[in-house]
Amino acid sequence: MIMRTVSKDPRTTRGDLVNDLQRAGTKVTKVTISNTLQRQGIKSRSARRVPLLKPVHVQARLKFAREHMDDTAEDWENVMWSDETKVELFGINSTRRVWRKKNTELHPKNTIPTVKHGGENIMLWGCFSAKGTGRLIRVKDRMNGAMYREILSQNLLPSVRTLKMKRGWVFQHDNDPKHTARATKEWLRKKHLKVLEWPSQSPDLNP
């Protein structure tokens, strides 16, 4: 019963299992449950947080993978990657434990879907390519489209020149609304920048 329950729902706690077994007429301790599961190669581990994927996201990822399946190392070396990231200054990120076997941390049952949210942090923007790191800056105010375009103008283009990117280099950024705004697309067009199409809710491909 224990194995069947945790296989169906890895988020089941030892307390849940104790109560289920008691209702079935069997009295066991949490230690007994842990020992039983460990003998089967299952331990309580922190659940990985992964982007929440809908079927449309899965299809977009598959399309992207097929389109770039034959890209060469030289193709990827010509990409300038970029992203913003929040660095948490204070607070504790909550964790959730699941029962799972080794090397199954990314199975959907063993993960916790996440969405982006606020917190006490600082925001950074940076870029880099296979040739090296570009500029890394702190974003002091709430970023909007105009600020994002100013960041690109003052930091992306100088980074490209410093790293001596080849002619026809490709710019990567995700689908943040500031990145996909009409004014931003127009700015990129006027600068004659080629942008790598990026599937929504995708994990970073940055090294």
Give the pLDDT score at 51.
Answer: 77
Give the Cα separation of 78 and 60 in Å (integer): 23
Give the pLDDT score at 117.
Answer: 55
**Contact call for residues 130 and 74 (beta carbons, < 8 A):** no
Question: What is the average pLDDT across 174-181?
Answer: 93
SS3 (DSSP) at 123: strand
Backbone φ, ψ for residue 94 (5° rounding) = -70, 150
* 189 alpha-carbon distance from chain centroid: 28
Of residues 96 and 57, more confidently modeled: 57
Strand pairing category for 42-46 and 97-101: antiparallel
Backbone φ, ψ for residue 165 (5° rounding) = -65, 145
Least trusted range by pLDDT, from 22-31, 74-83, 106-115, 191-200: 106-115
Backbone φ, ψ for residue 179 (5° rounding) = -80, -30
Q: pLDDT category, 96, cuts 50, 70, 90?
A: confident
Question: 1: exposed, middle or buried (C-beta count within 10 Å: 0-12, 13-18, 19+)?
Answer: exposed
Question: What is the average pLDDT across 124-146?
Answer: 93
Instruction: Point out which residues pair with 124 in neighbouring strands.
Output: 85, 138
Of residues 39 and 95, more confidently modeled: 39
Asked whether the predicted pLDDT for residue 8 surpasses 90, the reply is no
Give the pLDDT score at 92.
Answer: 47
Q: pLDDT category, 115, cuts 50, 70, 90?
A: low
pTM: 0.66
Give the pLDDT score at 59.
Answer: 93
Asked whether the predicted pLDDT for residue 146 surpasses 80, the reply is yes
Q: Which helix (H) or strand (E) holds 77?
A: helix 73-77
Asked whether the predicted pLDDT for residue 91 surpasses 50, the reply is no
Give the Cα separation of 105 and 48 in Å (integer): 7
Q: pLDDT category, 204, cuts 50, 70, 90?
A: low
Q: pLDDT category, 183, cuts 50, 70, 90?
A: very high
Give the pLDDT score at 75.
Answer: 94
